[in-house]
């Protein structure tokens, strides 16, 4: 029973009987058909991607083009008298190209690796979609590492098919790794720290953080560095090894932030009343949350006043909301204290004279002694309160 392949080979064998003019015409037809197939592949690719997974569709398209190219090549070899039939043409192509089966097998391994990476990406995306704790950036990192692993394995298999001794290559790669590691210790440290940050997730893109005395919004997290935009409009790139070694303050992770404002009240004022007034004032502000409720705590005895700490919370923390709430608290509490007669004292010092020394003494009309260049007093200086008497 003859199949489609036998009919195709029989048709190719008949090309050997063509004359000169027929050979040229057939060559033109074959080349035109090959160009048309390449042109049609551009339009067939989107349809294959919709019908099959993207990587599978690409492999099907490439396999089809490779099969068409092989048929066209065999046909041209038979047509121009380089082989009497298709079998001889294949032998001629195999002898010219070398180990044809090995080449075909190597291409098949690479195509399989390409398809496997497509399935791996779909599996990772499906797993990440089902777990909210895994970010898109983390899933991308896992996919890239998996893709590199698959391609390296496929490359090793291909080299094995061509009988390449991998032991020398591995030894050379080991020495190269040592040299590169010594020359790029800081870069490799930042690279490893980047992987740690990807999976420990102390912050994400869009978070308000403070790192290494830099405060701003995280705009990008790469394998090597972290980029933040400060509130002054500056973009700062911090190497990941520094990020992992510094204290990280994430102010927006929990979705709310506590603000503290210190204010001093006079020692003669009623501190409890002042605290109650401040609490009631903060509860009426739109810029702060009512839950948790604002609180006022006593902090310390200052030089000029008893220090109160006003504590309130804001949601969706940002620098703008923080300063807006802080400004509202300071303005409202100041107005309330002024209206209720609660004094916020200026910084002041209290001077007293010791009783055993007679307290403060006023010179009155008595001239004070004038100092000389050598640190003494002038001879005609009048003693003050008996000073200088023997």
pLDDT average per 10 residues of sequence, the chain (390 residues): 53 56 70 73 67 63 67 66 58 56 69 76 79 68 80 80 67 69 66 75 87 88 84 88 86 90 92 93 92 92 91 91 94 94 81 63 55 53 47
Ranges of CATH 3.30.70.100 domains, the chain:
256-340
Compute the distance between CA of residue 281 and CA of residue 288 in angstroms, rounded to an integer.
11
Which residue's entry shows tokens 């195509």?
111
272 exposure class (CB count in 10 Å sphere: 0-12, 13-18, 19+): exposed
pLDDT of amino acid 169: 64
Measured at the CA of 227, the angle between CA 223 and CA 229, to 5 degrees, comes to 165
User: What whole-number distance in Å separates Cα of residue 229 and Cα of residue 4?
Assistant: 65
252 three-class SS: coil
Domain with CATH 2.30.30.60 in the chain: 165-252
What's the pLDDT score for residue 386?
A: 47
Cβ neighbours of residue 139 under 8 Å, at least 6 residues apart? 124, 125, 127, 128
CA-based torsion, 52, 55, 56, 57: positive or negative: positive
Q: CATH second-level architecture of 256-340? A: 2-Layer Sandwich (3.30)
Identify the helix (H) or strand (E) that includes residue 153: helix 136-161
Residue bearing tokens 């989107």: 46
Whether 62 and 24 have beta carbons less than 8 Å apart is answered as: no
- Cα Rg of the chain, angstroms: 43
pTM of the model: 0.50
Architecture of 165-252 per CATH? Roll (2.30)
């Amino acid at each position: 029973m003859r199949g489609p392949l036998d009919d195709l080979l029989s048709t190719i064998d008949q090309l050997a009987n063509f004359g000169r003019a027929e050979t040229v015409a057939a060559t033109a037809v074959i080349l035109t058909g090959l160009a048309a197939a390449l042109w049609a592949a551009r339009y067939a690719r989107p349809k294959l991607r919709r019908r099959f997974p993207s990587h599978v569709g690409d492999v099907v398209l490439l396999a089809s083009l490779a099969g068409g190219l092989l048929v066209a090549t065999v046909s041209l070899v038979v047509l121009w008298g380089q082989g009497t039939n298709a079998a001889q043409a294949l032998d001629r192509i195999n002898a010219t190209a070398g180990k044809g089966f090995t080449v075909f097998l190597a291409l098949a391994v690479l195509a399989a690796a390409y398809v496997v990476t497509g399935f791996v990406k779909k599996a990772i995306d499906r797993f990440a979609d089902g777990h909210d704790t895994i970010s898109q950036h983390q899933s991308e990192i896992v996919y890239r590492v998996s893709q590199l692993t698959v391609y390296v394995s496929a490359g090793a298999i291909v080299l094995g098919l061509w009988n390449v001794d991998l032991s020398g290559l591995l030894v050379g790669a080991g020495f190269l790794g040592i040299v590169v590691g010594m020359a790029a210790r800081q870069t490799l440290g930042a690279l490893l720290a980047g992987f740690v940050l990807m999976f420990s997730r102390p912050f994400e893109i869009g978070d308000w953080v403070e790192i290494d005395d830099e405060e701003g919004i995280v705009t990008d997290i790469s394998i090597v560095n972290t980029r933040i935009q400060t509130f002054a409009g500056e973009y700062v790139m911090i190497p990941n090894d520094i990020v992992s070694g510094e204290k990280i303050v994430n102010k927006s992770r929990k979705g709310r932030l506590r603000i503290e404002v210190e204010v001093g009240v006079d020692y003669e004022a009623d501190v409890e009343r002042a605290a109650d007034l401040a609490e009631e004032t903060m509860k009426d502000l739109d810029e702060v949350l009512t839950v948790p409720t604002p609180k006022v705590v006593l902090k310390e005895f200052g030089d000029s006043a008893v220090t109160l700490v006003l504590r309130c919370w804001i949601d969706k923390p940002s620098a703008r909301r923080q300063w807006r709430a802080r400004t509202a608290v300071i303005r409202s509490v100041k107005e309330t204290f002024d209206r209720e007669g609660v004094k916020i004292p200026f910084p002041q010092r209290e001077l007293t004279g010791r009783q055993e020394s007679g307290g403060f003494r006023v010179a009155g009309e008595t001239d004070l002694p004038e100092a000389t260049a050598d640190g003494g007093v002038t001879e005609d200086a009048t003693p003050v309160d008996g000073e200088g008497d023997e």
